[in-house]
Amino acid sequence: MPIEHFSRIISGVMTWGEWGKNLNTKEVAQLISHTVDQGITTIDHADIYGNYTTEALFGGGFKASSLNRNAIQIITKCGIQHLCPNRDNKVKHYNYSKDYIIWSAEKSLKNLQTDYIDLLLLHRPSPLMNPAEIAEAVQKLLKDGKILHVGVSNFTPPQTDLLKKHIPIAANQVECSITHTQPMFDGSLDHMISNNIAPMSWSSLGSVYKKDDERTRRITRVLDTLSKKYSATTDQLLLAWLLKHPAKIRPVIGTATPERISLAAKSVDINLELEDWFMLLEASEGHPVA
């Protein structure tokens, strides 16, 4: 895959700033260094995070960390026009005009204090996206060296194919977890394998810690048993479950807690036995496989 040098676990920064921990520059610098020390070198952004403020927070923190730029790979996303005080939008919408994509990427470069973005993702598909116009913007950014790769996020296989006729698609970041298994059955992951597109998963732990219902209780019971067998935390097992998939899913973790980042990094060393993997799937689906 063209981005095979990205780390298998990706650190998502959505909660580092205004939408979560509200870290200061020094704390961001420390967290970046800690994350890289754990072998998690790929960092996932979106321009909208923190109401368009988290990229700049990260940029300042990265500069303060004294790390070399080649120590990390930066992902960011564009296209969503978010409703917040930092944008003069009347309604939440998507903008994939040539001028906007280029402007947004250049704005991200400035905020992140970097000369290039390793992977630019189109954040969500728009019913009005024009693949030829998107291609013009992307090709210019690639030619100018401002982005190294382009991908999509939350795109279906047909939507991805629509763009793939015009530009190379390196990755697709979709929701995928033990409680959101649809990409494993609706052809999404199959399509990525067939087209050499790297899958990334957001909300990688699913709703296991967010909901208390029959489904999550079934999953938790299995996780408790497997935790003893593998001497692993439930977080690690949920990530290992995704990592086992042959598509080579790269889970994005959303935590800003150093200890949880360290534990997540170790999940790559857990190889779930086949029947244990299906035991978790059965707990999620509520029935045996056919």
pLDDT tens for 6-47 read: 999 999 999 999 999 999 999 999 999 999 999 999 999 999
pLDDT in tens, 114-139: 999 999 999 999 999 999 999 999 99
Extract the tokens encoding 202.
């957001």
How does DSSP assign 182-245, residue by residue? HHHHSSHHHHHHHTT-EEEEESTTTTTTT--SHHHHHHHHHHHHHHHHHT--HHHHHHHHHHTS
pLDDT band at 4 (very low <50, low <70, confident <90, very high): confident
State the Cα–Cα distance between residues 47 and 59, nearest whole angstrom: 12
Q: Do the Cβ atoms of 151 and 142 come closer than 8 Å?
A: no
Distance CA 6, CA 19 (A): 25
In tens, the pLDDT along 41-72 reads: 999 999 999 999 999 999 999 999 999 999 99
Spatial distance between the Cα atoms of 77 and 125, rounded to a whole number of angstroms: 12
Tell me which residues are annotated as active site.
49
Residue 36 · residue 72 · CB < 8 Å:
yes
The candidate with the shortest Cα–Cα distance to 28, out of 1, 4, 64, is 64
Distance in angstroms (rounded) separating the CA atoms of residues 206 and 174: 12
Question: Closest by alpha carbon to 202, among 62, 93, 46?
Answer: 46
Q: How far apart are CA 245 and CA 3, in angstroms?
A: 18
Q: Which two tokens stand for residue 180?
A: 């959101």
* DSSP code at position 147: B
Q: Provide the token pair at 162.
A: 């629509």
- Is pLDDT at 2 greater than 70 in this prediction? no
Q: What is the pLDDT of residue 3?
A: 83
Q: What domains are there in the chain, each with its CATH number?
A: 10-210+238-270 (3.20.20.100)
pLDDT in tens, 195-216: 999 999 999 999 999 999 999 9
Residue 1: predicted pLDDT: 41
The partner residues of 120 in beta bridges, in order of sequence, read 76, 150
Question: Model confidence at 92, in pLDDT bands (50, 70, 90)?
Answer: very high
Beta carbons of 136 and 157 less than 8 angstroms apart: no
With 0.95 as the threshold, say if the pTM is over it: yes
